Amino acid sequence: MSQQETLPAQAEGQPVSPIWPEATHIDAQGAITFHGISAASLLEQYGSPLYVVDTDEIANRAQRFVNAAQTAFNTTTTQVSYAGKALLTKRIVRIMLDAGMHIDTCTMGEMRIALAAGAPGRRLVLHGNNKTDDEVRLAISEGFDKIVVDSPDEPERIARIASQLGKRARVMLRVTSGIHAGGHEYISTAHEDQKFGVPLLPVDADEHLLDFLDLANNQQAVESAGDRAYSEQAQEEQTQLVQAMECIAQGSALAVLQTIKQHSEHLELVGIHSHIGSQIHDATAFIHAAQRIMLLRKTFYATDGITLPEVDLGGGYSVAYTDTQDSMNIEQELGALASAVMNTNRMLGMPMPVISFEPGRWIVAPAGVNLYTVGTVKAVQLQAEQRAEHPVEETTQVAQPAHITRTYVAVDGGMSDNIRPALYDAQYTARIANRSADALNTADLPEPKDTQATPQGAVRARIVGMHCESGDILVYHTWLPEDIHRGDIVAIPVTGAYGRTMASNYNQATIPAVVAVNASGSSVMLRRQSVDDLLELDQD
């Protein structure tokens, strides 16, 4: 260590940092508590490793999103559906229903869990790019609010099943808008070369034909410039609108909408759906996608005389996973989106539809913390050229230390309980949870990169799992106390989404329990798997 910095002390009872659940604090001994319950006592009672989920935090964030949508769109009706893929249990379903939400499902398992929790069919939605007949049949039988059509061949199949049941299914069409957004290629879902939805535009379309939609964002300024300016823009808009609608009329999306219309005896077409990706940080991409969807709605009205009553703008709202990242200000961004959508519909001469949203990660991710017990601690001395950087780190011109010491901290979990770092290069942070460790305040420390000097009293740590993979890494870069040792507890925040739901039995590891914490105490939400569970599956 050529330079040393002092680790700042943290006051008793102070929240850990903004990325942790609001009721997570530091107690008098410097240990992490959840609603006053220590991390150590949770592991003692429920075992290690452990998913901890603050259900009060989830309820508060769910209600906050619902309120933000209603406020942003004012007199326009809004509907919020929770994306169950992020984390789904019966208790989570009931929390979302209490907040006024619907529940998005995409498999038989998710459908059955939502129904078992008491969700009425009218509050459920079925998604999926490859729905089985059994899933479609259950959705229609239970009167699901919507089935989202994902492929050109689905309308006929859904209509056939509805006919067999003597019912009429409510459907909407998922459209790929061509707007590319998302934190990783695997979670960007509106580009053309992927498995979801039906393309809005023909393959040889000139997308510049849609540029006139940006005029909607300047509508107020043009109106205030006087009658002449307003008239000139109106003429320009009309010409470009006709050209854009002619282009959209050649695309697959309009054709599938017309196919659904042909099956109107058994299919009720209620709207258009768009989902452009995940971990999107501001409203810009949502605005561009929404404007394109509104133009498709206008085109369908012009060609078929039907005003679709609902437009679903999907999810993808970002959260901060480390203290250096920003979380989406949902009130601000939904406000910007609402303004653009209302201006666009006014420009198109269309009434506002019901506007729907599908948040998942934004609601549950910040409510989760994973707790692990430390095992092996291994310090490795490295020259600059030997370092294995985080895959998403940018090349820097900052002078590199000639050599560094990296401390590998192995824990009793790994990629089987959080695959996101291995799958998406996801970044996390961590801190010791069972003692003060000189009271590290990670929010005030320098960003834990290899170009930074190691603060006094800390080690440059990489938290790794127990699996037979060199890519089994939970946290690429973090500062931990220099006396970190076997038996310590490490806490990783912002794990409420896509940890438990993507968990696996790799190396025949058992999946940890999910424990709910709130102002009333703690309780098991999903029990821990046992080796006996695995053996019961083995029918030798």
Check the annotation: does 420 bind a ligand: yes
- Residue at 298 is within a domain: yes
Residues 526 and 421 in one domain: yes
Least confident residue range of 212-221, 248-257, 350-359, 513-522? 212-221
Is residue 106 part of the annotated active site? The answer reads no
Within 10 Å of residue 95's Cβ, how many Cβ atoms? 23
Q: Under DSSP, is residue 460 helix (H, G, I), strand (E, B) or coil? A: strand
- Residue at 271 is within a domain: yes
Residues 380 and 409 in one domain: yes
Check the annotation: does 335 bind a ligand: no
pLDDT value, residue 448: 82
Q: Give me 175's structure tokens.
A: 């459209």
Query: CATH number for the domain including 455?
Result: 2.40.37.10
Which is higher by pLDDT, 134 or 384? 134
How far is residue 526 from each of residues 41, 106, 130, 513, 515, measured CA to CA in Å?
18, 20, 28, 5, 7
CA nearest neighbour of 73 among 297, 342, 290: 342
* Range of the structural domain that residue 445 is part of: 24-55+365-537
Check the annotation: does 360 bind a ligand: yes
- Sign for the CA dihedral angle at 250, 251, 254, 258 comes to positive
Specify the pTM.
0.90
Residues 407 and 443 in one domain: yes
Given 329, 362, 395, the domain boundary residue is 362
Residues 330 and 387 in one domain: no
Residues 435 and 468 in one domain: yes
How far is residue 25 from each of residues 6, 34, 60, 415, 426, measured CA to CA in Å?
22, 7, 18, 27, 25
Residues 28 and 108 in one domain: no
- Residue at 249 is within a domain: no
Check the annotation: does 424 bind a ligand: yes
Q: Where are the alpha helices (DSSP H) in 170-226?
A: 219-224
pLDDT value, residue 2: 32
- Residue at 109 is within a domain: yes
Q: Which residue has the tokens 């080690």?
A: 459
- Residue at 239 is within a domain: no
Q: Write the pLDDT tens digit of every residue in 386-432.
A: 666 555 454 444 555 668 899 999 999 999 999 999 999 999 999 99
The mean pLDDT of 73-88, rounded to a whole number, is 96
Which is higher by pLDDT, 266 or 242? 266
**What's the whole-number average pLDDT of the chain?**
89
- Residue at 8 is within a domain: no
- List, in sequence order, every residue forming a beta bridge with 125; answer none if it has no partner: 104, 146
Residues 449 and 438 in one domain: yes
Residues 344 and 371 in one domain: no
CA nearest neighbour of 1 among 428, 377, 323, 379: 379
Check the annotation: does 168 bind a ligand: no
Given 299, 333, 362, the domain boundary residue is 362
Residues 306 and 434 in one domain: no
Given 362, 381, 414, the domain boundary residue is 362
The mean pLDDT of 28-54, rounded to a whole number, is 96
Check the annotation: does 316 bind a ligand: yes
Check the annotation: does 460 bind a ligand: no
Residues 432 and 310 in one domain: no
Q: Specify whether the CB–CB gap between 462 and 407 falls below 8 A.
A: yes
Which of 11, 399, 468, 537 is catalytic? The answer is 468
Q: Give me 200's structure tokens.
A: 């809005």
The whole-angstrom separation of Cα 65 and Cα 76 is 16
Residues 69 and 35 in one domain: no
- Residue at 154 is within a domain: yes
pLDDT value, residue 401: 62
Residues 530 and 444 in one domain: yes
Q: Specify whether the CB–CB gap between 110 and 388 falls below 8 A.
A: no
Q: Write the pLDDT tens digit of every residue in 336-357.
A: 999 999 999 998 999 999 999 9
Tally of domains in the chain: 2
Q: Under DSSP, is residue 252 helix (H, G, I), strand (E, B) or coil? A: helix
Q: Under DSSP, is residue 164 helix (H, G, I), strand (E, B) or coil? A: helix
- Residue at 452 is within a domain: yes
